[in-house]
Chains A and B, each alone.
Chain A
Amino acid sequence: MKVHGPSELLNDVQKGGLCIGCGGCVDLCPYFRNYMGKTAMLFPCTLTQGRCYAHCPKAEVDLQELARRYWGEDYTGSPLGCHREILGARAGKKFQMWRFQGGGTVSALVASALKSGRIEAAVLTDRSGFEPVPKVVTQWEDVGRCGTSKFIAAPTLAALNKAVREGKGRLGVVGTPCQMTSVAQMRLNPLGREDFSDPVALAVGLFCNWALDHRTLKAYLEKRLDVNGILAMDIPPPPANVLVLETASGKVEISLDEIRPLIPQTCFICPDMTSEWADVSVGMYEGRPGWNTLIVRTDRGADLVEQARSDGFLETEPMPEGYVKSLSAAALQKKQRALRTAAMREVLNVNEDGKRSALRVPPEVVNAILAAQ
């Protein structure tokens, strides 16, 4: 991984329109702050190498390096990433005190990890009115409060960075594919700090096609309703094609055709639908209401799922092969679109002197992905 400094980050990512506001560079230092979804650099920093750049999921992300480190194999561009099994899952009977937006799988896993002491604290995303806000939870009973979909990019990793700065270890973190990429890069200890100890004991990734920009969406919704009165948001599975906003005075439906133009351009260079760099990934299970899709990727992901099942926090069932296929097809589509877009924007595998790349994928893998059906 090539590590540059904050000036390059500011130039390439913030000014280059690639920043999604994941919070990966925020709260590592006093220079980067996120406010209302937008990450800003408060003052110039003169370092030529910084963790801000190293952690950023839109700056010199080298998928080959990540694959070798986390999967122990070369990056091949398989649509769903390296995994052990794909299951249907939902919160188990002992963890059904909350109304969950999907199957409650994420909350159940995080609660189980906290309860069993696998993690000391979990970095989640809560909601304050319209605004998604990072939250650090240490009691398993508090996890369920955060278990609603936001569809808005949130600076969750700022809270992770802050927790690490405060000396916390064995942290769990729940986030989107870009955030999982950032966490994976962070765990590589890119600046080679001698005193580095991996603070992340569990990474729970979410499926994501795109997230909305906080400010753009807010400005759009403000014309329709009082955004602070939004209690929950949902995008029901196709063919619904709507964003449903739950407010005190009832539900408001907005066509996704109106929402899609608000998707930040940076989402279109993201090759990851299923959070491939997480320990486990969780998403929607279309056609099976009340259930989630659960991808188990790593040893510790598998251990946690086993633990949660035996605790009665999680229930799983086999996933039909047909569904895995369609999921895989969707994930491939996202990869293909991302690589085409990134190449077109000249942020893929840029090798010219003095130029930097957002994403690096071995060229033969790029070709293979683009050729895949």
Chain B
Amino acid sequence: MSQLLEPKAGTRCLLMGNEAIARGALEAGVSVAAGYPGTPSSEIIENLARVAGERNLYVEWSVNEKVAMEVAAAASYAGLRSMCVMKQNGVNVGSDFLLHLGLCGTRGGMIIVPCDDPGALSSINEGEARQFARLLEIPLLEPGDFQEAKDMTKWAFELSEEIRNLVMVRSVTRLSHASGMVVLGELPAPRAEAKFVHSGFILDPMTGAVLSVPIGFKHQQQQEKLEKAVALFENSPFNRYLGPEKPELLVITSSACFLYSLEAVNVLGLEDRVGILKLGTTWPLPPKLLAKHLSSANKILIVEEVIPFLEENVKVLAAELASSVGPKTFFGKRDKTIPSVGEMNPDNVVSALAKIFAIDYQPAPEEYRKRGQTVAFFGAPARDLTFCPGCPHRASFWSIHNVLEMDGREGFVCGDIGCYTMAVTPTGFSTVKTVHAMGSGTGLASGFGKLTQFGMDQPVLSVCGDSTFFHAAMPALVNAVHHRSRITMVVLDNGGTAMTGFQPHPGLEVDAAGRQAPAVSVEEVARAIGAHVEVSDPFDLAATQEKLLTLLNRKDGVNVLVLRQICALSPQKKWKKLFEVSVNQDVCLGESCGCNRLCTRIFRCPGLVWDGQKKKARIDEVICSGCGVCASVCPSGAIQKKEAA
């Protein structure tokens, strides 16, 4: 049994932040959860999906975040508690809907959980969701530890029902993906009956039609809800102060930065001089609470990640309260006391405090640091970003790269979001030249493909994964077809949302909870849109290259090439080898003219190893996944494959 179903209140469990959030939702009696996979958010939906049966939940991986929000909102309108979950970028995707949702209000408690990725550990930007709370005029909660992740999630539903509007609970990578002790609360008996009441007076938020008009009226109502939330925030147990009554410096912080601040104060032994105001309710800020603490110190340091969101909001309040709290000296991101980009850590806070207090602090002796660098440089093998052994993307980009080079017209690939984004690097032969948001590859290609009238004759390709195809690439494909843009869209269909952990998507015959589901076919959709569609197995390099060359030479219309081969790490394929692969070192040409280490210098599957002593290639049987593609790459036939038993 999942510990998420532990019935006994008071039980202490080691939970990952995302599990704590899921447990909090279960303790709140959530009925519907929807999301789109994205690191570091994915485990919330995955954990809820696992207990969907026992808890009578409806959980789905939606086609994209906007639809996820709509699915969750429908449940709220029908009186259920619901949540939608995504990584930071997902909030952008759904923000159009959210702006309306904020005005319309909610019925059953509804929360949105964005998991931000400061430092972009698993992202290609470090955009953050907090500012959406201000933009959308909804309350924002930021858990500072694992217990709070659970407790605040649960309370967020109550708050949502109290004010009848959406509440944002924002997590970050270090909270979502780390684990800590959590004391569980009550698990309510599954209940809830859904009914969408719509026959009441049109302006009645609980029985009328759900509308954002009349705007003035609804907007007014929305801001009153926010004021109600602020009143509750003034006494919220999620806002805490630790430190002396009159600190020399007040640290105001939230989220994972709270623990970093605690640690930094402790490292420098500043407990008697520094106070920490840890805020859990960060938008709108509770003014009375802030006034009390701002009065206590003249120097204020704001510790937070990515943009100076908290800093600016505190400063606005400080300006409004200036006559009562007096002038303050602020430290934070705007004066560069805190780094303005990247993830925070205790060292950063230590540096900031040391600077403010003029303490000479060395995190480690210089000698130690230098030695560490030397050992790391000479002792650790260089590890580039790389596709896994047997990854179909390596084979796909090998073919795409070779075909573009053979074509010789300086063709290029507009990339998209997935493991295959790595094709900007040598692991994908540096084939991808643009990377933006989900679906943007094909949108950009659609634009590039229309530049022939200005003399551009470079072949334009886009790539997207199967999940990305449904998420956001379809409208771009429609656009390209309708406007006769000359592009070739390559769908790298590896049978799941692979990068985030192989979650299902509408192209598969299974849903988030493991139920049978009708699959939507990529090629049928593309054909219906009006594209010329071909399908190939990327492991068959010759056939794939021939098809691609033919497509690039087609004079008119949009081409779609589906390269279908399941991810090497998929549950279906993992540990199952298609081939036993070996290198006949007598035949291997090694560094000599005729090969010059093509397999280990260019193709670079991690399953191939250069034997520096023998000057020959060999297979690393431990990690070789047996795809057999390198046998097709070897010019001398030294790499041999035979079907695995």
Contact = CB atoms under 8 A, between A and B. Distances in A.
A360 to B, nearest CB: 22
Contact of B595 (A30, A42, A49): A30
Interface residues on chain B, size class = 10 to 19
A50 B593 contact: yes
B596 A35 contact: no
Contacts of B596: 29, 31, 45-47
From A43, A49, A165, residue with most partner B Cβ within 10 Å: A43
Interface stretch (B58-66, B122-130, B399-407, B488-496): B399-407
A28 interface: yes
A41 interface: yes
Interface in A131-190: 165
Contacts of A42: 401-402, 405-406
Contacts of A43: 429, 598, 602
A191 interface: yes
B594 interface: yes
A41 B406 CA distance: 8
Contacts of B594: 28-29, 51, 165
Interface string B564-606: 0000000000000000000000000001011110100110000
Contacts of A45: 596
Nearest to A52: B593
A40 interface: yes
Interface string B428-466: 010000000000000000000000000000000000000
B209 interface: no
A30 B593 contact: no
A83 interface: no
Given A42-B401, A43-B598, A28 B408 contact: no
A233 to B, nearest CB: 21
A8 to B, nearest CB: 14
Contacts of B602: 43
A46 B402 CA distance: 18
Interface in A168-216: 191
Nearest to B602: A43
Nearest to B402: A42
B593 A40 contact: no
Contacts of B406: 33-35, 38, 40, 42
A31 B601 CA distance: 12
A50 B602 CA distance: 18
A29 B405 contact: no
Contact of A35 (B407, B429, B593): B407
A33 B593 contact: no
Interface in A302-339: none
A31 B595 CA distance: 8
B113 to A, nearest CB: 45
A118 to B, nearest CB: 28
A43 B429 CA distance: 9
B120 interface: no
Interface string B146-188: 0000000000000000000000000000000000000000000
B593 A38 contact: no
A220 to B, nearest CB: 15
A306 B593 CA distance: 39
B635 interface: yes
A40 B408 contact: yes
B529 interface: no
B441 to A, nearest CB: 23
Contacts of B405: 33, 40-42
B595 A29 contact: yes
Interface string B611-645: 00000000000000000000001011000000000
B598 A35 contact: no
A309 to B, nearest CB: 40
B508 interface: no
Contacts of A41: 405
B635 A35 contact: no
Contacts of A40: 405-408
Residue of B407, B594, B598, B633 most packed against chain A (CB within 10 A): B594
Contacts of B408: 35, 38, 40
B598 A30 contact: yes
A365 to B, nearest CB: 31
Q: Which of A34, A35, A50, A52 gathers most chain B CB within 10 Å? A: A35
A56 to B, nearest CB: 13
A11 to B, nearest CB: 16
Interface string B397-430: 0000110011110000000000000000000010
Contacts of A49: 593
B549 interface: yes
Contacts of A35: 406-408, 549
Given A35-B407, A43-B429, A49-B593, A29 B402 contact: no
B456 to A, nearest CB: 16
A38 B635 CA distance: 21
Interface centre among B405, B407, B593 (most CB of A within 10 A): B593
Contacts of B598: 29-31, 43
A30 B541 CA distance: 13
Contacts of B595: 29-30
Nearest to B633: A30
B402 A33 contact: yes
Interface string A89-129: 00000000000000000000000000000000000000000
A216 B323 CA distance: 79
Contacts of B549: 35
A110 B551 CA distance: 38
Contact of A29 (B429, B633, B635): B635
Interface of B: 401-402, 405-408, 429, 549, 591, 593-596, 598, 601-602, 633, 635-636
Given A28-B593, A33-B406, A41-B405, 19 more contacts: A28-B594, A29-B595, A29-B598, A30-B595, A30-B598, A30-B633, A31-B598, A34-B406, A42-B401, A43-B429, A43-B602, A46-B601, A47-B591, A47-B593, A49-B593, A50-B593, A51-B593, A165-B636, A191-B593
20 contacts: A28-B593, A28-B594, A29-B598, A29-B635, A33-B406, A35-B408, A35-B549, A40-B406, A40-B407, A43-B602, A46-B596, A47-B591, A47-B596, A49-B593, A50-B593, A51-B594, A165-B594, A165-B635, A165-B636, A191-B593
